[in-house]
């Protein structure tokens, strides 16, 4: 029994090293290949992710496989993916085969039955994708494009489009990026400095809205020209603000 425990421990330690190495190597690989591998999966990207996970998984649980074997598998598959990425960038004709093409599933307010059928979809799936775009009726849609990553892009009919400032003849105003200043009860000092603000200013803003401790605030966001947005911890009573 003692011998079995020792053998198990001897196997677990190499697996720990190999798992950590595999995770680190995959992280580096995703950085090299770009974010499309994790955010916009084309059919080929999906297959690549499955194969890569399978290869690494098999290598981890193969007693004969070591760190060099895992590194070789990840490097080899990474080179293949990188090569295919270069091919699709240099030879436009290959994109249709490897990445697919966007297709019109709704054309001038009408469902394109042929394209829906070709993409192995049904009306329920189209409606689900539309609801993800805050569209709850096909009647609102002029054009619907099924993208290569499986999402749908929508151009609404004119009566259903939100009016823009240009439509309303309103002068455009400068747009500012919101900055998180407090997260989980802690000041994000780098963001505070980048926004040109001080901890004294932040504390004064909190006091003005009825909060006397940074720890009382779960989240705070600053946008230039606007009042500091504060979200307290949910277990605290609501406070009056100006």
| pLDDT of the residue at 203 | 94
In the chain, what are the domains?
Answer: 2-96 (no CATH), 103-160 (3.30.240.20), 179-232 (3.30.240.20)
Q: Which of 192, 188, 241, 190 is nearest to 218 (CA)?
A: 188
For residue range 78-121, what is the model confidence (pLDDT) as tens digits?
Answer: 777 777 777 777 776 666 666 667 889 999 999 998 988 888 88
Predicted pLDDT of residue 6: 44
Secondary structure (DSSP) of 21-72: HHHHHHHHHHHHH-THHHHS--HHHHHHHHHHHHHHHHHHT-TT--HHHHHH
Query: CA torsion angle for 190, 195, 198, 201 (degrees, to 10)?
Result: -140
Q: Which two tokens stand for residue 77?
A: 């598959």
Query: Residue 198's pLDDT is what?
Result: 94
CA distance 123 to 207: 54
CA 226 vs. chain centroid, Å, equals: 28
Q: Give this prediction's pTM.
A: 0.53
- What is residue 202's predicted lDDT score, i.e. its pLDDT? 94
- How far apart CA 69 and CA 21 sit, in angstroms, is 11
- What per-residue confidence (pLDDT) applies to 181? 94
| pLDDT for the residue 223 | 92
- Judging by beta carbons within 10 Å of its beta carbon (0-12, 13-18, 19+), is residue 191 exposed, middle or buried? middle
> d(Cα 173, Cα 132) in Å, to the nearest integer?
29
* pLDDT < 50 regions, the chain: 1-8, 34-40, 236-237, 241-242
Q: What is the pLDDT of residue 135?
A: 92
Nearest to 104 by CA among 146, 138, 62: 146
Indicate the length of the chain as a whole number. 242
Query: Is the Cβ–Cβ distance between 3 and 45 less than 8 Å?
Result: no
**Whole-angstrom distance, CA of residue 117 vs CA of residue 123:** 10
Question: Of 114, 122, 96, 117, which is closest to residue 43 (Cα–Cα)?
Answer: 96
């Amino acid at each position: 029994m003692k011998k079995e425990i020792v053998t198990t421990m001897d196997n677990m330690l190499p697996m720990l090293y190999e798992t950590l190495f595999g995770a680190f190597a995959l992280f580096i690989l995703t950085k090299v290949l770009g974010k499309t591998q994790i955010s916009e999966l084309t059919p080929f990207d999906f297959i690549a992710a499955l194969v890569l996970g399978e290869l690494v998984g098999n290598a981890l649980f193969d007693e004969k496989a070591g760190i060099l074997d895992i590194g070789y598998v990840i490097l080899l598959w990474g080179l293949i993916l990188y090569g295919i990425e270069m091919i699709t960038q240099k030879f436009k004709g290959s994109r249709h085969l490897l990445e697919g093409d966007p297709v019109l599933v709704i054309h001038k307010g009408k469902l394109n039955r042929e394209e829906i059928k070709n993409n192995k979809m049904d009306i329920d799936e189209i409606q689900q994708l539309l609801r993800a775009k805050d569209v709850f009726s096909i009647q609102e849609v002029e054009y619907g494009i099924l993208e290569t990553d499986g999402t749908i892009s929508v151009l609404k009919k004119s009566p259903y489009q939100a009016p823009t400032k240009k439509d309303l003849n309103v002068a455009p105003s400068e747009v500012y990026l919101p900055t998180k200043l407090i997260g989980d009860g802690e000041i994000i000092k780098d963001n505070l400095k980048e926004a040109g603000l001080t901890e004294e200013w932040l504390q004064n803003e909190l006091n003005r809205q009825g909060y006397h401790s940074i720890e009382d605030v779960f989240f705070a966001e600053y946008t230039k020209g606007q009042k500091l947005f504060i979200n307290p911890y949910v277990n605290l009573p609501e406070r009056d603000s100006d």
